A and B are shown apart, each in its own frame.
Chain A
Amino acid sequence: MQGNNVFILIKRAILYLLLFGGAALFLIPLLWMLSTALKPIEQTMTMPPQWIPYRHYVEIDGERVAARPGPAYQEDGREWIRVMPEGEEDWRVVPADEVERAVSPRWENFGDAIRAMRYFPQYLRNTLVLVILTVIGTVSSSALAAYGFSRIDWRGRNRVFLIALATMMIPFPVIMVPMYTLFQTIGWIGTLRPLWVPTFFAQAFNIFLLRQFFLTIPKDLSDAARIDGCGEFRIFMQIILPLCKPALLVVGLFQFMTTWNDFLGPLIYLTEQENFTLALGLQFFQSQHGGTEWHYLMAASTIVVLPVIVLFFFAQRQFIEGISMTGVKG
C-alpha cells in the first residue's frame, strides 16, 4: 500500500502543478492589462517589465512632490538626476539619493483615458440604452415564442420548431447586406434602431433555451388553470413566467453580454461618433492612439471589461448553469 500512496501523492502534485501553471497563464493577460492601466507611460516600455506601478518623489521647498525622473549624471563626485515635478514643465536637478521611489498606482489614467476618448459619456449612454432595450426585447419576445413552442399543443408545432433550430445555422454575413439595405431604405442607418429593434423578434437560440426550461414544468399545472377558466395569456404571465425566473435571468444575461460585446453590428450601422457603443468606441480610440499610449489603451480596455467581470461575479452560478444548459441537448 505504501507505494500506492506515493503514487497518488505524485498524481495530486502533478494535477496541482498543471492547474496552478494553467491558471497563471490564463490570468496573466488580464493582470498585465490592469498593471499597464495603472502605470505612467515610461513604465509601460521597460524590459524586464515592471508589474507594480510606482512613482518618484522629491522634496522641493520642504514639500514632498511626485516627479518624473529624467537622465542622471555625475558631477562634483555626486550623482545628480533631472526631475520634472508633476504638473510643471521645467526640469530641476536634485541629488540622486534624494529621489524616493514608492508604489503608487495611477488611478488618474482612467480619467485621462476617458477624456482622451472624448465621446465616452455618449458611448456609455448608447451602450446602456442598447443593453436595456435588447434585454427587454429578447426576454419578452423569446418567452412568448418559447411558450408557444412548449406549453401549447398546436398541430405542426415540432416541425415548425425544427425550422427555428435550422435558422441558428445562418451566419451573419449571409444576411448582412440585405439587412443593411433594408435599414438604409427606412432611414435607420446612423441610429441605434438596427441594433435593438431586431431583438424584439425572438431569436432561435433564446427560444431554445427557454423552451428547454418551460418543458420541465408539469403539464397539469396549465391544465388545472385552464379548467378554472384561465386564459392562455394569463397562464403565461401569472403561472409560467414566475416559475421560470432563473431561465429568464440567464437569457437576459446572455443578451447583456451579446449587446455589450457586439462589434460588427455597430461597425456596420453606426456612422457618427456620438452614436458609437463602448466596443466600437474602444476600437476607434485604438485606431487613433494605438501603438504608443498603451497605458491609456489598457485603461480604456479595463473600463470595457470590468462591468462584465463584476456582473459575472454576481451571477456566476447563472452564467455557468446557462452555458452548461446550451450544451446539454446539443
Chain B
Amino acid sequence: MTRGERRTLLIGLAFISPWIMGLLLMNLYPVLATMYYSFTDYVVMARPIWIGTLNYREMGTDPVFWQSLYNTVSYALIAIPLGLLFSFLIAVMLNQAMIGRSVFRTIFFLPAMVPFVAVAMIWLWVFHGQFGILNYGLQLIGVDGPNWLVDERYTKPSLVIMSIWSVGGAMVICLAALQDVPRQLYESAELDGASFWRQVWHITIPMISPVLYFNLIMGIIISLQLFIQPYIMFGPEGGPNRSALFYAVYLYENAFSYGNMGYACAMAWVLFMIIVIMTWLATRSTRKRIYYAGE
C-alpha cells in the first residue's frame, strides 16, 4: 500500500467511524451477547448462569412458545401474500392514466403514515363488536359481523385486515417501479392483441419483479416481528385463548415481565433463524423469475 493509499484509507475510515462504533456497540456486541445469554439462566442485574442448551430444549416443550410461533407464522403466511397482492393491484390501478390520480394515491398511502400505536387504537374501535363501524358496514350488506377482537377465530384475521390497511408503503414502491416500465413494451403488446391481464402477467410482473421481491422480503421481516398492534389490542396475554399471542410479544414478556432473559435470548435467536430461512426460501423460489434489467 502506498502512502497515498494509506492516507485515503484512514480518511475513509474516519468518515465511517460513527458507523464502525455503532457496528461494534450496537450490532456485534449485542448479537454475540444474546448468543451467550441464550445458553444461560439470566435475570436482570444477576450473573448469568451457564445451563447449556436447556433454554432451547425448554422451547420444544413450552406450549405457549408453540402457540405464539403458530400464531405468528400463520398470520405471516396470509398477511404477506395479501399485502403483496393489494399493494400491486392498487399500484396497477393508480398507474392508469386518469383524473385525480395523485388524490387517490394520497388516500391509499395515508394510513401507512399513521403511527402504529394510533393504528391499534383506531382499529380497536373500528372492530368493536357492538358499536364498531365495520360491523355496521357489514350489517348494511346483510352480514352479521362477528365479535372481532373477542372471538378467537377472528383475532388473527383482524390483524391481517389492519396490515392491508397499512399497505401504502409497498404500494408506493410498486407504483414507482411501474412508472419505469417502458411504454413501448405495452404498445407492441397492444399491437399483437394481448389482453390487459396478459400484459400484466407477461410484461408488468416480470418488469417490476425486483421490487416485488423487495416487498416480499420486507413483508417477511416485518410480519414475523409484529409487536405493537397485538400487544396493545390484546395485551401481553394475547387475547382470547392466546389466539393473538405473537412471537415478539411472548419474547418481550419473557425478557421484561417474567424475568427469563436467557429464554428470551434463545427465542430471539430462533426468530432470527426463522427470518433467515424464510428469506432464503423466498429468494430461492423466486430467483429464476426475477428480471434485473441491468444484467
Interface residues of A (CB under 8 A from B): 11-12, 15-16, 18-19, 22-23, 26-30, 32-33, 36, 44-49, 141-142, 144-145, 147-149, 152-157, 160, 163-164, 167, 169-182, 184, 198, 200-204, 207, 232, 236, 257, 260-261, 263-264, 267-268, 279-280, 282-283, 286, 290, 294, 297-298, 300-301, 304-305, 308-309, 312, 316, 319-320, 323-324, 326-328, 330
Contact A170 B125 (CB under 8 A): no
Tell me, rounded to whole Å, the shortest Cβ–Cβ distance linking A322 to chain B: 9
Q: How far is the CA of A301 from the CA of B116 in the complex (A)?
A: 11
Q: Which of B50-58, B60-68, B73-81, B207-215 contacts A (4 or more CB under 8 A)?
A: B207-215
With contacts A23-B108, A46-B131, A305-B115 taken as known, whether A145 is within 8 angstroms of B16 at the C-beta atoms is yes
Contact B115 A308 (CB under 8 A): yes
- Is the CB of B23 closer than 8 A to any CB of chain A? yes
Tell me, rounded to whole Å, the shortest Cβ–Cβ distance linking B224 to chain A: 8
Q: How far is the CA of A144 from the CA of B206 in the complex (A)?
A: 37
Q: What are 21 pairs between A and B in contact, CB < 8 Å? A: A16-B98, A18-B93, A22-B93, A30-B111, A30-B114, A32-B133, A33-B122, A149-B15, A155-B5, A160-B16, A164-B23, A171-B225, A173-B264, A174-B30, A174-B268, A204-B19, A232-B11, A232-B15, A280-B117, A323-B172, A327-B215
Tell me, rounded to whole Å, the shortest Cβ–Cβ distance linking B248 to chain A: 6
Tell me, rounded to whole Å, the shortest Cβ–Cβ distance linking A222 to chain B: 12
- Is the CB of B8 closer than 8 A to any CB of chain A? yes
- Is the CB of B191 closer than 8 A to any CB of chain A? no
Q: Give chain A residues whose Cβ lies under 8 Å from the Cβ of B21.
A: 201
Contact A184 B14 (CB under 8 A): no
Tell me, rounded to whole Å, the shortest Cβ–Cβ distance linking B268 to chain A: 4
Q: Give chain A residues whose Cβ lies under 8 Å from the Cβ of B279.
A: 169
Contact B19 A330 (CB under 8 A): no
Contact B31 A175 (CB under 8 A): yes
Contact B19 A145 (CB under 8 A): yes
**Which of A279, A294, A327: most chain B Cβ within 10 A?**
A327
Contact A181 B131 (CB under 8 A): no
A sample of 6 more A-B contacts (CB under 8 A), given A47-B136, A148-B14, is A12-B98, A144-B17, A175-B27, A177-B42, A201-B19, A327-B211
Contact A45 B272 (CB under 8 A): no
Q: How far is the CA of A164 from the CA of B16 in the complex (A)?
A: 11
Q: How far is the CA of A309 from the CA of B165 in the complex (A)?
A: 16
Least CB separation from B267: chain A residue: A173
- Selected from B118, B225, B251, B276, the residue in CB contact (under 8 A) with A282 is B118
Contact B232 A283 (CB under 8 A): yes
- Selected from B93, B251, B271, B275, the residue in CB contact (under 8 A) with A19 is B93
Q: Which residues of chain B from 221 to 244 have a CB within 8 Å of any chain A CB? A: 221, 224-225, 227-228, 232
Q: How far is the CA of A176 from the CA of B56 in the complex (A)?
A: 18
B169-211 vs A, Cβ < 8 Å mask (1 yes, 0 no): 1001111110000000000000000001000000000000011
B87-103 vs A, Cβ < 8 Å mask (1 yes, 0 no): 00010011010100000
Q: Which residues of chain B from 1 to 28 have a CB within 8 Å of any chain A CB? A: 1, 5, 8-9, 11-19, 21-23, 25-27
Contact B211 A26 (CB under 8 A): no
Interface residues of B (CB under 8 A from A): 1, 5, 8-9, 11-19, 21-23, 25-27, 29-31, 33-34, 37, 42, 44-45, 90, 93-94, 96, 98, 104-111, 113-118, 120-126, 128, 130-131, 133, 136-137, 165, 169, 172-177, 196, 210-211, 213-215, 217-218, 221, 224-225, 227-228, 232, 248, 251-252, 255-256, 261, 264-265, 267-269, 271-272, 275-276, 279
- Selected from B11, B123, B272, the residue in CB contact (under 8 A) with A174 is B272
- Selected from B16, B23, B44, the residue in CB contact (under 8 A) with A148 is B16
Q: How far is the CA of A30 from the CA of B125 in the complex (A)?
A: 11
Q: How far is the CA of A29 from the CA of B265 in the complex (A)?
A: 37
- Selected from A22, A198, A203, A309, the residue in CB contact (under 8 A) with B90 is A22
With contacts A170-B27, A202-B19, A320-B109 taken as known, whether A152 is within 8 angstroms of B11 at the C-beta atoms is yes
Contact B33 A286 (CB under 8 A): no
Tell me, rounded to whole Å, the shortest Cβ–Cβ distance linking A33 to chain B: 5
Least CB separation from A306: chain B residue: B118
Q: How far is the CA of A297 from the CA of B31 in the complex (A)?
A: 38
Q: How far is the CA of A257 from the CA of B42 in the complex (A)?
A: 34
Q: How far is the CA of A22 from the CA of B19 in the complex (A)?
A: 43
Q: Give chain B residues whose Cβ lies under 8 Å from the Cβ of A19.
A: 93-94, 104
Contact B275 A29 (CB under 8 A): no
With contacts A29-B165, A171-B275 taken as known, whether A301 is within 8 angstroms of B8 at the C-beta atoms is no
Contact B111 A173 (CB under 8 A): no
- Selected from B5, B93, B221, the residue in CB contact (under 8 A) with A171 is B221
Q: Give chain A residues whose Cβ lies under 8 Å from the Cβ of B275.
A: 169, 171
Least CB separation from B140: chain A residue: A48
Contact A177 B173 (CB under 8 A): no
- Selected from B8, B210, B228, B251, the residue in CB contact (under 8 A) with A173 is B251
Q: Give chain A residues whose Cβ lies under 8 Å from the Cβ of B18.
A: 141, 144-145, 200-202
Contact B96 A264 (CB under 8 A): no
- Selected from B23, B107, B172, the residue in CB contact (under 8 A) with A163 is B23
Q: Give chain A residues whose Cβ lies under 8 Å from the Cβ of B268.
A: 171, 173-174, 176-177
Contact A324 B16 (CB under 8 A): no
Contact B12 A312 (CB under 8 A): no
